[in-house]
Every structure is written in C-alpha cells, then in structure tokens.
Amino acid sequence: MLGYGDWTSTLQARTGLAKKNPPRRIRGARAAGKSELLKQLQARTAPDTVKQLREKGHLKSPQDFTALITALGNVFEWRHALAAFEEMRDRGLQPGVFGYGSLSRAFGRRRQWERALQLLEESKDEITADAALYSSVMKACEEDSDRVLSLFKEMQQGIEPDMQSFGIAISSCCQQQNWQQALGLLLQARDRGLQPNAITVSSVMKSLTPEHWARALLLWQDFGEAELQKDAISFTTAIQACASAKLWRFAVNLLEEMHREDLNPGAIPTSVAISACGQVNEWEVALELFRSVRESREALDAVLYNSAVQSCGEGGKWQAAVRLFEEMKEASLVSEKGFSALITALGKSKKWQKALGALESMEPKNVIGFGSAAFAMSMAKKWPHALALLQGLLATDLQPDTIFYNSAISAAERSGKWKVAVALLEDMKAREAAPDVETYAAIIQACVSKKKWQIGLLLMDDMLVEQLEPDTQTLGLLLSECEQHGASESGILKGLADGKSGARSRKQPVPEAEDLDEEEVYEEEEPRATAAGFKPIPMTSSMNARRVKGRAVPGHTPGQLKPLGDDFRPPAPRRPRSGIRVRAGQPYAKELRLLQRVVEEVPPGDPVAICEAIESFGDEVLVRGKAKLWLKIAGGIKTEVLTRAVRGGPLTCGDLQCSVLEVGAYCGYSSTRMALALPGVHIASLEVDPVHVVIARNVVLHGGLSGTIDVWTGHSKDLLPRIMHRYGGDLKFGAVFMDQKGTRYSEDMMKMESEGLLHPGAVVVADNVLKPGAPLFLYQIMNGGRYHAQIASMDEFAMPSEDWMSINVQRREAPDNETDAPEDLYQLAKETDRMRERAVGPGRSVTYEEWGEFAQEVKNRLAAANVTLTLDLRPESSRQRDDLFGAKSR
C-alpha cells in the first residue's frame, strides 16, 4: 500500500495555508456523498493528517473515504487519493460509483489518463458506470481528442450523455483545433435539448480559424438567443471573427458593447478592432479608437501601438505611423514586433527606402524584421533588394522562414521574374523552409504571366505531393490557361469539385521552360483524365469555340431544345432531392444552394423556368427568408432594361461579327436571359472565379443553351486580348454587358476599344454602377464624349434600395475628351471593391440594410463630382423611400 507521507505540509504548500492566513476550504465530494467527516474537513483551520483521521475513527464508511479521496484530488494529491482508495478496498468497503468517480477526477486533475482508463475498466466488474464517471475519465484524457471521442462514443452505447460530458468532449476537440468535430458535438447537444454554457460556446468560437468567421458569428448569435452570459473571451472571439470578415463596423460596435457591459476590453480586443479598421482603410476610425484608450488614461501597451501603426500603413498614412513609433520609443515600448509593424506600414505606403532604414536601425535584427523588409520590397517591385535582404539575413546567421521567402517570391512575381521565383523556391526547400499555398500561388502567377503555364501545371503537381490544396484563384488561373491552349481541363475541374486539384502524375522531371513542348503536356493530360474515370461536361468553352469557328452555332427558341448530340433524349423529369445540406457560412453557400435548387426543381431544357427559379430563390429564400441576404443578379426591372438595351445593338444570328459579350458570368442568370431575348445570337461570358464558372456552366447546360453560351475562365484583362484568337480572329461584339468589379469597367472598355472588339454602334450596359458602384467609369463615360451615355435609376432586384445601370451607345465619330476624375472618386472606388468582395466572396454576404447605407454614400459623393441621373425608372413609392433614407443618412 502507498504511504501517505507528510500530507499535511504538502496540502498547506499547495493551498497556500499558513498559521497567519485565513483557512482555505477544501472542496468536498457531491452532496449525495457528504458525511460527518467531510463537514469536519471543511471546518478545520488546518488539515489534519490522514493518520490522525484514522486514529480518531473518522474513516469508517465508503462515504468517508470518498470524501477524503475527493479532498485529496482537489489539492492534486492523486497518489494519496489512490492510497486511500486502496485502503478502502482492503477494508472490504465497496467504493461504488462515487468512489470510482472521485478517484478518476483526482487522476484527471493531473492528466493521469492511463490510470483513469485502467480504473474505468476495473469498475466495469463492480459497478454500472454513469455519465459522471465517464466525464471524469474523459477529463483525464482531454489532451487526446481521439481518445476522448472514443470514450464518448462508448458511453453513448448505454448512457445518455449530459452537458458536462458534451462539454469535455467539445473542449478536447477545441484544444486540438478540431473545430469541425467540436461544432458537430455542439449541434448534437442542442438536438438533445441540452443547453451549452458560455464557456463551451466560447471555446468553439475560439477554435475556429479566421476563414470560418461566419460560423463564429453564428455562434455569437446563440449567446443572445440562449441568453448566455457574455464574457470578455466570447466578445474577443466575436471581434476577431468580425476582423477576419472585414466587418469593421461590427467589430467597433462589439467593442462599445463591452464597455456598456462593464467588461474592460483590454489590449487584445481593442487592438483587433483597430486592425479590422485598418485593413479596410478606415485608418481614421482606427486612430480614434487608439486615442480613446489614451484619453481614458488606460495603460497603452505595445500591442495597441503596433495595431495602430499597422492601420496607418493600410491607409497609406506612413507619417502617422512614424509618429506613433516615436511615441513607442519614448515610452520604451518598442519591441521586435514594433519594428516589424513600422517596416510593414512603410512598405504598404511604397516607402521602401525608409523601410530599409528602419531595418538598419533595428537591433538586434531578427527574421521577422527581415521578413517585413522583404514585404516592403515586394510592394515596391524591388526584387534585387529582396535578394540582397536574403544575403544579409544569412550573413547574420539567421535562417529565413516561410514568410520571408513568400515576400521575396512575391517581389519576383510582381517584377515578372518567374525564373527568380522558381530559384527562390528551390533555395527555400534546400534550407528546409516549408512552402505553403501562398508560396506556390505567387510562383504559378509569375509563370503564367510570362506564358509559362505548363510550368504552373507542374508546380501544382508539387503542391499535391506536399499535400497542399491550391486556392481558387490559382485553380482559376490554370483552368483559364488550359482553356486558352486547348489542354484538358478535366483534372483541374475535378480537383475543384473535390476541394483539391485533380491528381496528376509526372514521369519526367520538370524540363527547362524553353524546352517544354505544349503538345507534350496536352497529350499526357488526356489519358490521365480517362484513367481517373472523370468525364468532363460535354460542352466546354474550348469545344464550343472550335465548333463556332465552323459556323455551327445552334440557336435556341423558348420551348424548343436543340439536340446536344446524336444521343439526345427528351428532357428528363425533375431530379429527386439530393439530401445534401449546404450549411450557411461555408464558402459559396449561396451559389451552391442556388444550383441545387435549379437542378432539383427545374426540368432540363427549360431556361425560362431556370430564370424564374433563380429569381424566386433570391427573393423568397435569401431576402424574405431568415438570411436577409442579397443575390447579385440583374433580376426584376433590370432584366427588362438589359434585354431591351442589347436588342438595340447591331446583332445577327449565327454571325460572330454580331456576338454578345458578358463580363462577369456569376451563376449564368444574365447570359440565360440574354439568350432568351436574342435567339440564335452567340454569347461569350467571362468569369474569373472557377467555382462560379462551374455553377454557370451547369446552369447553362441544364437550360439547354450550351451551344449558344460559352463560359470562359479567367480575368477580363487577360482574356480580352486573347478571345478574338480563340474564335478564329473575326470576333466582334454588338452588345456588351459588364457585371464584374466596378473598378474594372473603365479598363475593360479601353481594352475592348484598343483590341477592336466592339462593332460600330455597339451597346454597352454596365450594372451595379451605384451599388457596389463604379465611380471612375461613370465619371469618364459621362465626360469622355465617345458614347451616348445614360444613367438609369431603378429598384434593385429583391431589395428595398436603389441601384443604377449605365446604358451607352458607341458614337461612330466622336472626340476624345478624357478628363481625370477627382481624387475622392479614386478613394471611393477602393471602398466599392471592398463592399463587392463582402457580397460575392466565398462564404460572405452583405445585408440589404448595409447596401442601402452604402448606396446613399456613393450617390452623395458622385453628386459632388457632378455625376447624376439622366433617367429615373423607380415608382413614386420607391423615390419617397429613398429620399427618406437619404435624409436620415445625412
């Protein structure tokens, strides 16, 4: 039997008890197991030894021993607790479920998981375990989520789990960053009618990575609905989620709510809110938050200063960043992170020489400082200086990390030096710095920009070998190159569907770029796609382009589906529901739910019904439903304006000289509407997001319009100079519909003009020029003189707010009166980009109340630049609504 030793002195040392100090009560067992002994233990001014307890006859019953074991466990004396447990059994006393539970909790407090598991197995021969016993054993194993989940599953076979056992399992998953399992357990607990406490919900929120901000905010809503007590941790986690989503207003509001709840935010949530403001160029708000802390006379620490410095850098206010840094120096708060924040701020303001000067003054220098300086070189496209920084870093006996290499590679990519980027990757691997997704994305971008797209494909192979999943931008870039060069798209498309790029093997090492044969890559791709058993969609854009060049352009008339091939069959009935649930907040949730609705509820070959289904989805499910979100389509009156406008263009059926161009396919709604309005007219649609491409192609295919509409993958700036070649060199557009990022409208118009893509008298329609907005385009189109320009106001589709469309007809002979836009419109253009990103970015959305506020701001600032309406199509009720909203905003 284990000896007890000097248990009294040990207990005093661990609990802080001393003769001059007031007693610390020892927590006992549960109420059901209390005994006279437990009462005496709680009341003592100093704990007695176990020997004394035995001599006085206080250890008689199982309850007495259970109370002692519990008390010993509470002061982390698991060995003495085990000795008491063994003595109890030696006396012939049955521990019972409470005795086993007390000892397992004592093991749990010291993470003695092996002993806890052994005890659980021994107990099965004597007692029927309950949820409390399993929970105590799970607590002992908490650092191993797999073992905890195994115990939790075992318990459920005969015991109904309680919220305590759910909480321990969830906590274990959160500690191991297994947020998916933690979230699943949380939902299971709710389904059983159990109410998780604030600590459990906060732990799940905290385990979520930044890209899962939407889930974190949904969990935050649970605090209000369940009336849980919000604490500083839950507030901080919610603010971090808002920062990840670039919801700076919400972050600031939550910070204010913390003050109202008398929860001192402290440095971390305040610095996160400051960073949230800074990353969307709301640097004035960021500095105001910083000043509010300073004026409240609260202690300013380095974390707050660093966040404020970085926010100034985001807004290009490098002078303010330098002033704050000088304040940090005076307060002796400058650290390595402070130097890094300053260097990064200078880099974002393109002050690369000053960034190098700041690095020079940093002592001692470290990898973080060098990495920040390399970032500054990247922003300034100074790749030779980035390489010099690498040499300087190595000369100080420091090892460059992944962040440093990524910045250096980015500098090479921005400078168009793809060979330098590849060489840096090789050096990176040689020095055992692990490449990540960002590393490969920059190198692939560098290769593609210099027409070395085959190297990009091989680099994606390397990513798969290293178990790295390419991001959608990289996949879209490579998918576009495959389309343009006639290479197989199937591997990339399959990878996009699987969440990773398609598995491709390489038999030979990467050849030198100059020796790489395009046909070699193309011929190798086809058998690999076949071997993988993947069958691509019958009508890809490349196939359509080859067919269209031969003038075999099938038209479509409502109610009549043209055959897609010799094996054409009549339209099939509706598909049964898949049963797959697309959860809110996951990437592309809106778009995937839309496609699911179209495929499951609309028979193939009925494009009219498809458009109606998309409109009803946007109206009923998103706007009128619980989500209160917007689907970015030109529905409602916008459809009528668009179709009437494009009908006025110089268009003919089956002639590429009179085609329609759409820039921004999104989900295929507008191209389908235009195809219905222009039977037989060819439509080429461009889309940069590969997921949107797949969704749009499936919508087009489901509607029987794949012979009329081509959906191409890629950025408009890359595709517009190449699209004429893809159709044989004789392509002209009689009508254009632009529905992409508003800041691209002007550049795309100039590119179409310079490439000779517009047919004389072409009609150009631009949507969303008020919301999210295209301020530079509107200013230039209204003042340039090359177009008959109109700006029409109308109700936004399925939203109680105003939007504008720009309808323009090219003048056959017109002066070029280009004038530069006011500076405020350039700043406004950046703000519209950020708003659009929130609306259509993966897993992101903007409420229509936010849209209304933003549209009013755009409208006011355009009016200040003399850009106003020429046509108002709103009903009187909408005008009154918008006027009232505008008055409130002012």
Assigned domain for 461 exists: yes
- Ramachandran region, residue 560 (left: φ > 0; alpha: ψ -120 to 50; beta: rest): beta
Task: Tell me, yes or no, whether 608 and 717 share the same domain.
Answer: yes
Residue 834's alpha-carbon distances to 217, 441, 682, 692, 830, in angstroms, are: 20, 22, 33, 19, 7
Number of structural domains (the chain) is: 3
Strands 871-872 and 787-795: parallel
Task: Tell me, yes or no, whether 729 and 855 share the same domain.
Answer: yes
pLDDT at residue 731, rounded to an integer: 83
CB pairs under 8 A, 24+ apart, for 417-425?
Answer: 417/383, 417/446, 418/443, 418/446, 418/447, 418/449, 418/450, 418/452, 418/455, 418/513, 419/513, 420/383, 420/387, 421/446, 421/447, 422/446, 422/447, 422/455
Phi, psi of 786 (to 5 degrees): -90, -10
pLDDT at residue 312, rounded to an integer: 87
Helix (H, G, I), strand (E, B) or coil at 759: strand
pLDDT at residue 531, rounded to an integer: 28
CA separation for the pair 95, 69 (Å, rounded):
11
Assigned domain for 718 exists: yes
CA separation for the pair 185, 183 (Å, rounded):
5
Residues in the chain: 890
CA dihedral 400→403→405→410, nearest 10 degrees, is -160
pLDDT tens-digit map of 94-146: 898 889 988 998 898 888 889 989 999 889 888 888 888 998 899 888 888 88
Last residue of a domain, one of 515, 536, 557: 536
Task: Tell me, yes or no, whether 746 and 826 share the same domain.
Answer: yes
Kindly state the helix (H) or strand (E) to which residue 120 belongs, with its residue range. helix 113-123
Assigned domain for 780 exists: yes
Assigned domain for 32 exists: no
What CATH number is given to the structural domain containing 877? 3.40.50.150
Instruction: List the structure tokens of 407.
Output: 């910045």
CA separation for the pair 467, 391 (Å, rounded):
30
Ranges of residues in the chain with a pLDDT under 70 are 1-52, 211, 225, 297-299, 490-491, 493-581, 583-585, 621-630, 816-818, 839-848, 888-890
DSSP 229: P
Task: Tell me, yes or no, whether 530 and 594 share the same domain.
Answer: no
Task: Tell me, yes or no, whether 600 and 525 share the same domain.
Answer: no
Which residues lie below 8 Å from residue 430, measured CB to CB, with a gap of 6+?
A: none
Task: Tell me, yes or no, whether 500 and 608 share the same domain.
Answer: no
Residue 566's alpha-carbon distances to 36, 549, 562, 569, in angstroms, are: 91, 21, 11, 9
Task: Tell me, yes or no, whether 724 and 790 share the same domain.
Answer: yes
Assigned domain for 543 exists: no
Assigned domain for 765 exists: yes
Last residue of a domain, one of 334, 357, 383: 334
pLDDT at residue 829, rounded to an integer: 92
pTM above 0.75, yes or no: no
Sheet holding 733-738, edge to edge: 709-713, 683-687, 659-663, 733-738, 758-766, 802-810, 787-795, 871-872
Task: Tell me, yes or no, whether 517 and 639 share the same domain.
Answer: no
Residue 62's alpha-carbon distances to 41, 74, 86, 358, in angstroms, are: 16, 18, 12, 70
Task: Tell me, yes or no, whether 250 and 319 share the same domain.
Answer: yes
Assigned domain for 425 exists: no
Task: Tell me, yes or no, whether 304 and 446 share the same domain.
Answer: no
pLDDT at residue 331, rounded to an integer: 87
**Contact status, residue 425 vs residue 409, Cβ threshold 8 Å:** yes
**Contact status, residue 525 vs residue 487, Cβ threshold 8 Å:** yes
CA separation for the pair 255, 249 (Å, rounded):
10
Task: Tell me, yes or no, whether 489 and 593 share the same domain.
Answer: no
Assigned domain for 270 exists: yes
pLDDT at residue 124, rounded to an integer: 86
Task: Tell me, yes or no, whether 598 and 515 share the same domain.
Answer: no
**Contact status, residue 657 vs residue 759, Cβ threshold 8 Å:** yes
Beta bridge partners of 758: 733
The type of residue at 585 is G
Last residue of a domain, one of 302, 334, 366: 334
pLDDT at residue 506, rounded to an integer: 33
Helix (H, G, I), strand (E, B) or coil at 663: strand
CA dihedral 610→611→614→618, nearest 10 degrees, is -160
pLDDT at residue 35, rounded to an integer: 44
Its domain, for residue 595, covers 589-889
